[in-house]
Structure 1
Amino acid sequence: MDRFQSRYNFISIFLGSMAILCVISWCSTSFFDYSLLRFRFSPPVGDLKKSFYADYENTNVDSLGLSDQSSNISKKQRKLTKEEELERGLAKARASILRAASDRNTTEYESHLPNAEVYHNPAAFYRSYVEMEKRFRVYVYEEGVLPLVHDGPCKDVYAVEGRFIHEIERGKTRFRTRDPLKAHVYFMPFSVTFLVKYLYQGHGDAKPLKRFVSDYVTTISSKYPFWNRSSGADHFMLACHDWGPLVSKSNPHLFNTSIRVLCNANSSEGFNPKKDASLPEIKLYGSEINPKLTLSKTGDYSQRPYLAFFAGGLHGPIRPILLEHWKHRDPDMPVHEYLPKNLNFYDFMLQSKFCLCPSGYEVASPRVIESIYAECVPVILSKNFVLPLSDVLRWETFSVQVDVSEIPRLKEILMSVSEEKYRWLRRNLQYVRRHFVLNQPPERFDAFHTTLHSIWLRRINFALA
């Protein structure tokens, strides 16, 4: 009898432990696995509730976390606050995206996203994008003066920073709201590039920049209730300058809780893809890309005599390895530290099948996006780089990623790509270009809107208490 009782107790404890683990596991996951193939987003820690749906009266919660209005209403309904109405709308958006993710019917999205294989889940992406267009609203703080706030660079390598600020503030976008009570997210429109330009005094001292950002957060958090109610989780900053992550350390909630949209998306330096978004680094000349990279001049397959190409400065940990093994070593792979003045960088890109994209001092490089424009298949040589739009796009369908340790075998690896696969990569590259172009005015699914969608995606992944 004692032996039976001991065995019964052991089984009870075991089953009880498993039940507790299941509950903990359910509570710690996000509302949905957006890509169904990538990672699960988790809500930021802090003053946020991990189980949003359970807070609504008269609501049943199924195993997926979808809210379903019950016909058996046992409590008297009350009028929702504006904040609760916003969260109710986000809950409906989540449910809609989840239904689309499991629906095999392609009729809804195929005319808008005809090349489905470049997406983790095209149905989920399209439904999420439509929900964003329908619901998403951004409030832009008006505090701060030019040029440090409400302005930014609109040309050269950090152009995406200024273009986003200008478009969300001065463009004819449906996404901006002047009523902060109707906003899902709050934008702090300071430009890190202009902070460096006007406040940096040399010697690697970022203290003046960090002090400015710290003071800005203090100003908005003391003037408005929105930062404090979420510890900044529904706020975002956007920076393409290399010092974006460094400046964000000026406030612990900005670094750990807020949405940081960064070109320098280095996971080894605190970039967290569960809450942060990777921003494509797009180099503009004036307000346009280099004329050689327009669609009409990218050429066909047969006009690319070089296997691969690279030219760039010798900085960072990866480029020295590349140049050590391949600089002036193989006529099929022109690799230079700097091109002679009589040669053109973009001509080489347009004449190469693959473009080598090693990280420099920081993980991001405009060379990745320029390779897309040139229809030169990007070869990603990097460590800890979270690629732009990687929660939506399958980068393996239009690029090649090579481990740094494999650089000595680079030609062998690229030569092993069959002609059929290369043509497939190239076709996909032509297609995804639309997501990395800064149009003026913006167009559906372009870089401005996919950046907004990355922010929207992080916002719908948690609910305010």
Structure 2
Amino acid sequence: MATTTPVFPLLLLLLLLLSAAAASPSPYLSPTTLFQNYQNMLTNFKIFIYAPAKPFTFQNPVASLFYNSLLKSPFNTQDPNEAHLFFVPFSPDTSTRSLARLVRNFRVKHPYWNRTLGADHFFLSPAGIDYSADRNVLELKKNSVQISVFPVISGNFIPHKDITLPPLNPSASVISAAPENASTMSFLGYLKWDGETESNFAEELKKDADFLVDIERDSLDQVGNIQTSKFCLLFYGGDVAWMMEAMALGCVPVVIVDRPIQDLPLMDVLRWSDLSLLVSTRGGAKRLKEVLNSVSEEEYGGMKRMASAASKHLVWNEEPQPLDAFHMVIYQLWLRRHTIRYARRESV
């Protein structure tokens, strides 16, 4: 049986975090609002989960972890009349036709969908769903909150409505054992490279002694490489799973991408624009180096502290803990609970 978090230890934790957030700089968009709302969420938030058509599992590890945590969550209610939001469970390999049938069934068999045309519903799709000519799937896509795994395929994410799950980093457990400030900074930037993404750009970086390029399969000391680098470089769409580890170790994340992105995890909570950098591949390694060197030591110190503080909310636990990744995703759902409920017209 799911249990709620003890109130007094949680309040103490919230007060400590609020005190830390009050000091400049803060990684939060609105520290005071965050912690007040978070406590209200723990006390009041209710989610009704529809019974799935048949049992299924998510092969994606972080989607599976979120889904299983949600099923065991104390936020769940068996009374749909007290629910703020409704969760629509379906297998990630569900076809468009089957998805349309699912929504049609909600429309016919349950009153809740029609009240808002699905605006108080949410669903989990690791890659996100695309637009469809089918009315039912289009309503699900445009109205309901989609939760996907970061990063999301272009066109499958609607900013200000949809949510992404922070990546799951299997090696995150080594962070607690890593000594702080174990080494002096030897590199301007560290890139953990998959050997394929933006290969020309990566090859340029390899030729510059200020950058350390580490091909994943050859990595022997990732923690050491992070600790000896000022900035940690990530190709958007490549391997982003180690971002949380890098941030926790005080390495400022630099996302290399050629277009604006709005699907970063916890966009409603964290000030990503102040704790990270977005840099285009245009201009190559030379331009990247200019951008990184333009960050003053004062600015860098603030970004480093904010990145480290923000990383605490990007951690996934098998059993959810206060203010961890699971609870922050739920918090973003809580912020979306206010929807317009369309009054059903009575026939005259």
Give 1:344 deviation, angstroms. Answer: 4.4
Answer yes or no: is the 8 Å Cα contact 2:248–2:312 preserved in 1: no
Matched, 1:275 2:177: no
Residue 17 of structure 2 aligns with an amino acid whose one-letter code is H
**In the aligned structure 1, how far is the partner of 2:133 from the partner of 2:194?**
28
CA-to-partner distance for each residue in 1:166-190, whole Å, 9 max, x for gaps?
A: 11113xx321111111111111223
**In the aligned structure 1, how far is the partner of 2:189 from the partner of 2:213?**
8
Change in Cα spacing, 1:459 to 1:138, as seen in structure 2 (3 Å) is: same
Residue equivalent to 1:438: 316
Q: Report matched runs for 1:355-374 at 5 Å.
A: 355-360=232-237, 365-374=240-249
Decide which of 127, 135, 139 is 2:44's aligned counterpart: 135
Decide which of 190, 196, 207 is 1:309's aligned counterpart: 190
Q: Report matched runs for 1:152-163 at 5 Å.
A: 152-153=58-59, 158-163=60-65
Match of 2:188, SS state, is strand
Change in Cα spacing, 1:133 to 1:437, as seen in structure 2 (3 Å) is: same
**In the aligned structure 1, how far is the partner of 2:324 from the partner of 2:278?**
24
Change in Cα spacing, 1:265 to 1:332, as seen in structure 2 (3 Å) is: closer
Residue equivalent to 1:174: 74
**In the aligned structure 1, how far is the partner of 2:232 from the partner of 2:305?**
16
| Structure 2: tracts of 5 or more residues without a match | 1-12, 343-348
Decide which of 44, 52, 67 is 1:165's aligned counterpart: 67
Residue equivalent to 2:21: 115
Decide which of 252, 255, 274 is 1:397's aligned counterpart: 274
Aligned residues: 322
Change in Cα spacing, 1:238 to 1:384, as seen in structure 2 (3 Å) is: farther
Residue equivalent to 1:253: 139
Give 1:340 deviation, angstroms. Answer: 5.9
Change in Cα spacing, 1:123 to 1:210, as seen in structure 2 (3 Å) is: same
Answer yes or no: is the 8 Å Cα contact 1:139–1:185 preserved in 2: yes
Larger radius of gyration: 1
Decide which of 395, 413, 428 is 2:291's aligned counterpart: 413
**In the aligned structure 1, how far is the partner of 2:132 from the partner of 2:75?**
25
Answer yes or no: is the 8 Å Cα contact 1:138–1:185 preserved in 2: yes
Matched, 1:447 2:325: yes
Match of 2:189, SS state, is strand
Matched, 1:244 2:101: no
CA-to-partner distance for each residue in 1:366-411, whole Å, 9 max, x for gaps?
A: 2433422443211012223222112221113322222343543112
Decide which of 237, 261, 274 is 1:385's aligned counterpart: 261
Give 1:314 deviation, angstroms. Answer: 5.5
| Structure 1: tracts of 5 or more residues without a match | 1-107, 196-207
Match of 1:334, SS state, is strand
**In the aligned structure 2, how far is the partner of 1:342 from the partner of 1:302?**
18
Residue 255 of structure 1 aligns with an amino acid whose one-letter code is K
Residue equivalent to 1:224: 110
CA-to-partner distance for each residue in 1:71-119, whole Å, 9 max, x for gaps?
A: xxxxxxxxxxxxxxxxxxxxxxxxxxxxxxxxxxxxx965332224222
Q: Report matched runs for 1:33-182 at 5 Å.
A: 111-113=16-18, 114-116=20-22, 117-146=26-55, 148=56, 151-153=57-59, 158-170=60-72, 173-182=73-82
**In the aligned structure 2, how far is the partner of 1:370 from the partner of 1:189?**
30
Residue 131 of structure 1 aligns with an amino acid whose one-letter code is N
Question: What is the aligned-residue identity percentage?
Answer: 30
Give 1:438 deviation, angstroms. Answer: 1.2
Change in Cα spacing, 1:168 to 1:424, as seen in structure 2 (3 Å) is: same
Residue equivalent to 1:204: none
